Structure 1
Amino acid sequence: MLVTLSGYILNYVVTSASVHDIRAVDDLLENCRQPYILADLGYLSRDLKDHLVQKGYHLWTPLRQKMEGSKQHNHWKLMAMRRTIETRFSELCSLFDIEHTLTRGLTGLQLSIEQMILAYNLRYFEIN
């Protein structure tokens, strides 16, 4: 999911569980005009970072705790900003039960997710 720091959901990609997060990055960033991307450990990859630099993006992912320089790199302010997306997932689960859509096919799943994101984003404008 691609989310602004203020919490507005810009884009999402659904893949099967066997597909690594990195494989969906190009689809996720389609038409994204934000040059700075904060991601989770699932996107920790030198090849991905180099690939995104070529496309004009600057990718930041936290380092694993045992990695050299992690204490300096994993600055608490960046980690707090990164948690924004995790909060969106939690809210989609609690407000709309997004993990249990009861759809019968991919088209129904897509429609259901898009309705939830639309309702969430409309709620976002009401609150802000």
Structure 2
Amino acid sequence: MLVTLSGYILNYVVTPASIHDMRAVNELLENCQQPYILADLGYLSRELRENLKQKGYHLWTPLRQNMTGAKQHNHWKLMAMRRTIETRFSELCVLFEIEQTLARGLTGLQLRIE
């Protein structure tokens, strides 16, 4: 899900659970005008960061706690901004019972979300 810092949903992609988040990045960022992207650990990849940099995006993902420089890189202000996105996602799950849907396929799930 692509969300602004104020919590406005710009775009989302529904994929099977077996598909890694990084495989949907190009579709998710389609027509995205925002150059700075804050992502979660699922998008932690040097290759992805370089690929997006060539497209004009600046990708920031937190580092794992055991990684060199994690304490400085995972600045509390950036982590607080990321929390906005996680909060929005949690709200959607609770309000619309997305995790308890009885959809039989991706199309049904997408219709339920919309």
TM-score between the two structures when normalised by the length of structure 2:
0.95
Partner of 2:98: 98
Say which SS state the counterpart of residue 99 (structure 1) adopts: helix
Aligned to 1:38: 38
Q: How many residues align?
A: 114
1:31-70 paired onto structure 2 within 5 Å: 31-70=31-70
Larger radius of gyration: 1
**Displacement of 1:107 after TM fit?**
2.7
Counterpart Cα distance in 1 of 2:96 and 2:80: 24
CA distance in 2: counterparts of 1:104 and 1:94, whole angstroms: 20
Superposition RMSD on alpha carbons, in Å? 1.0
Q: Which residue of 1 aligns with 2:14?
A: 14
Provide the rounded CA distance (Å) in 1 between the counterparts of 2:113 and 2:2: 14
Q: For residues 66-101 of structure 1, what are the alpha-carbon distances to aligned partners after superposition, in whole Å with 9 as ceiling and x for unaligned?
A: 111111000000000011111011101111111122
Q: Which stretch of structure 1 is more off in the superposition, 99-108 or 68-77?
A: 99-108
Q: TM (normalized to structure 1)? A: 0.85
Gaps of 5+ in 2: none
Query: Residues of 2 paired with 1:113 and 1:29: CA distance?
Result: 19
In 2, Cα distance between the equivalents of 1:68 and 1:105? 41
Identity %: 83
- Between stretches 39-48 and 85-94, larger displacement belongs to 85-94
Q: Which runs of 5+ in 1 are unaligned?
A: 115-128
State the Cα distance separating 1:104 from its structure 2 match.
3.2
